[in-house]
Structure 1
Amino acid sequence: MSIQWFPGHMHKARLEMQAVLPKVDVVVEVLDARIPYSSENPMLAELRGDKPCLKVLAKSDLADEAMTVQWQEHFNAVAGVRARAVTTEEVPTIRKIKYAIAQMVPHKEGKSAKAMIMGIPNVGKSTIINVLAGRKIAKTGNTPAITKQQQSVNIGDGVTLLDTPGVLWPNLQNTYSSYRLALLGSIQETAMEYSDVAFFGARYLLDRYVDRLVDRFDLDSQPSRELELIEAIGRKRGCLGKNNQVDLERASKIFVTEIRSGGLGPLTFETPQGMEREKAETSKQEAEKVERDREKEAKRKKRFRAKQRAQKKSREMRG
């Protein structure tokens, strides 16, 4: 499956962010605590440069607590970066973001600090803004791309937030990240196939959380393969079609919905160590692709030059 989703308003948002960043003191990047690596936008990291960055691990109540601690330690080890885990179930954790911003710019004490809040679609950015503002400022929803333009929000205590549209980078080079983003709803439904995404999620959960799958779906036995799991879910949830065959698409939607809603308990789909391996693998694949493209272009030029020589020789013979 190839997922590429980059609406026009996102390109515009990038240009707008580039224009306003020089006036910003702190960048606040909201991540999904279940996929901190895949929801971290490398384009945003490039844009912010060396400005202080607060990584907010949102939806941490849906993530594996031990893994969230590991991710906080991972981010805190990076110069100029701090990480905080928040959840809408515990509003005080969100309100502390304001004080964390102030601590990252001590030279602004007694002055107004401006923070730009960023994040890919559907990570809970608008909910965080509304809590910090104490009123409904930003639109919220369970679908990506709710915020369409920048807005400035005064959250008190001398801190102003500049809200930006959710930005997904143009090309998702890491195929695994594409699947994780689709699995958790950060990519529009029209850009994905439920069965593909469900099989990806099933493979991961069978390796790490199989007991939860058995309990949640009241399975008669422990599945060992993705298809076996999805079909078992389909039978338990009544997703049967002609000749009593399981409707894999319907069963896949049920499975993905359970994951997104937290029905399977707190889950984390990435580890810092695993993502380092994936980054190395992706870099290798990109280098190999560049080399293949270079060789392909060289062969194309060689054929073109040979064709020109043949045409020249033909003209000379006719002359």
Structure 2
Amino acid sequence: MSIQWFPGHMVAAQKKAAETMEFTDVVIEVLDARMPGASQNPMIRELGAARQRAHLKVLNKSDLADPKITDQWIQFFNALPKTKAIAISCKKSGDSKKILTACKLLAPHRSSPLKPLRMMIMGVPNVGKSTIMNAILNKRIAKVGDEPAVTKQQQRHQINDHMILVDTPGMMWPKIQYSSDGYILAINHAIGKNAYDEEDIAKELGSILLRVYPDYLKSRYAMNGDDAIRDSIDLLETIAKKKKLPLNKGLLDTRKVATLLINDYRNSLLGRISLESPESRDLMMKGHK
């Protein structure tokens, strides 16, 4: 199943972002550190490249991601032209301020009242962009919510006499090229619930965890060598039994256990997890050629 999600308001948001890009010095793209590749919006890259803008990749929620994998992504992005990458947690006091420092380094020719540094912050929904904005401005100006696409319109903020920051709505793109990206975006709640089935994405999540973080599963769900787990379906059934979830008409309630696994992951109860690395993404993309 291919997951696609592109609400109508994002068409207008894309057009407005293209207009603002003309008057932008640095594009700040907020990524989810657990899925830096999948959470890159190709439209943002294309808009920035067309104007040859400096690009800051902010790997947010790094406190939830595998630190070794995050380091690999930082090195990967820093090797790209006109690009700087940093890892932050928007929940940590002061982390968001690192963004302004990095932007100054990317555009040293602009940071004065006559030539203020003009920045535009962008990203897919639910990567923590609104929380970052509130931290940078030291006040609650951006609405924060659990559902993706809370911010609907672009907003301009004068940080001081030499820095301007434009906040944009979370934007997806019209067609997600790789099916695995759709699943990973849905797992991380960057896509509206109406666009996917929780059981499907729980199976995808289970497959990744069995392959990369099996010890986390064993620890969280008290699994041992007697549990014969061949695939993600076996995993969900085993979790349901371990958690003693009630039966639905005599059968395991797969929807309930799917929700349990997804929420345990989203709430970081399994451990610090990254769903993709530069190497795994490269292999995935080569497999689609």
Category of TM-score, reference length = shorter chain: over 0.9
For residue 208 of structure 2, what is the aligned residue in structure 1?
Answer: 204
Are 1:206 and 1:224, in contact at CA under 8 Å, matched by a contact in 2? no
Q: Which residue of 2 aligns with 1:44?
A: 44
Equivalent-residue separation in structure 1 for 2:221 and 2:159 (angstroms): 43
In the TM superposition, residue 194 of structure 1 has moved relative to its aligned partner by 0.7
Is 1:136 the counterpart of 2:144 in the alignment? no
Which residue of the partner structure matches residue 60 of structure 2? Answer: 58
CA contact (8 A) 1:64 1:268 kept: yes
Determine the C-alpha separation between the residues in 1 that align with 2:121 and 2:241.
44
State the 1:240 CA deviation: 2.5
Q: In structure 2, do the counterparts of structure 1 residues 246 and 113 end up closer, same or farther at CA, with 3 Å as the change threshold?
A: same
CA deviation string 1:234-285 (max 9, x = no partner): 1233333245421001100000011111111100111112212222333x2x
Contact kept, 8 Å, 1:32 with 1:57, in 2: the verdict is yes
Structure 1 segments (4+ residues) deviating >3 Å: none
Structure 1 segment 265-280 matched on structure 2, within 5 A: 265-280=271-286
SS of structure 2 residue aligned to 1:40:
coil
- What are the superposed Cα offsets for residues 145-203 of structure 1, whole Å, 9 maximum, x if unpaired? 00000001223362211011111111111011111001111111111111110011101
Tell me the equivalent position of 2:85.
Answer: 83
CA separation in 2, counterparts of 1:20 and 1:225? 47
Report the equivalent of 1:108: 110
- Counterpart CA distance in 1 for 2:131 and 2:244 is 35
Q: TM-score, normalising length from structure 2?
A: 0.94
Q: In the alignment, what sits opposite 1:315? A: none
The 3 A distance-change label for structure 1 pair 203 and 150 is same
Give the Cα separation in 1 of the matches to 2:41 and 2:155.
20
Letter in 2 for 1:64: D
Contact 1:102 1:159 in 2 (8 A): no
Specify the alignment match of 1:294 in structure 2: none
Residue of structure 2 in register with 1:260 after alignment: 266
C-alpha separation between the residues in 2 aligned to 1:188 and 1:197? 13
1:237 and 1:168, CA in 2 relative to 1: closer, same or farther beyond 3 A? Answer: same
Q: In 2, are the aligned partners of 1:64 and 1:267 still within 8 Å (CA)?
A: yes
Equivalent residue in structure 1 for 2:233, among 219, 227, 234: 227
1:1-319 matches, within 5 Å, as 1-49=1-49, 50-110=52-112, 111-156=115-160, 158-221=162-225, 222=227, 223-242=229-248, 244-282=250-288, 284=289
Does the 8 A contact of 2:39 with 2:124 survive in 1?
Answer: yes
Is the deviation greater in 8-17 or in 85-94?
Answer: 85-94
1:107-165 CA-to-partner distances (Å, cap 9, x unmatched) read 11323111000000000000000000000010111210000000012233622110111
Is contact 2:25-2:119 (8 Å) kept?
yes
**Contact 2:111 2:163 (8 Å CA) reproduced:** no
Aligned-residue identity in percent: 39
Question: Which structure exhibits the higher relative contact order, with contacts defined as CA atoms closer than 8 Å and separated by 6 or more residues?
Answer: 2
Return the structure number with greater helix share. Answer: 1
Distance in 2, matches of 1:37 and 1:242, equals 38
Unaligned runs of 5+ in 2: none
Q: How far 1:97 moved relative to its partner?
A: 0.8
User: Does the 8 Å contact 2:31/2:60 carry over to 1?
Assistant: yes
Structure-2 separation of matches of 1:181 and 1:96: 26
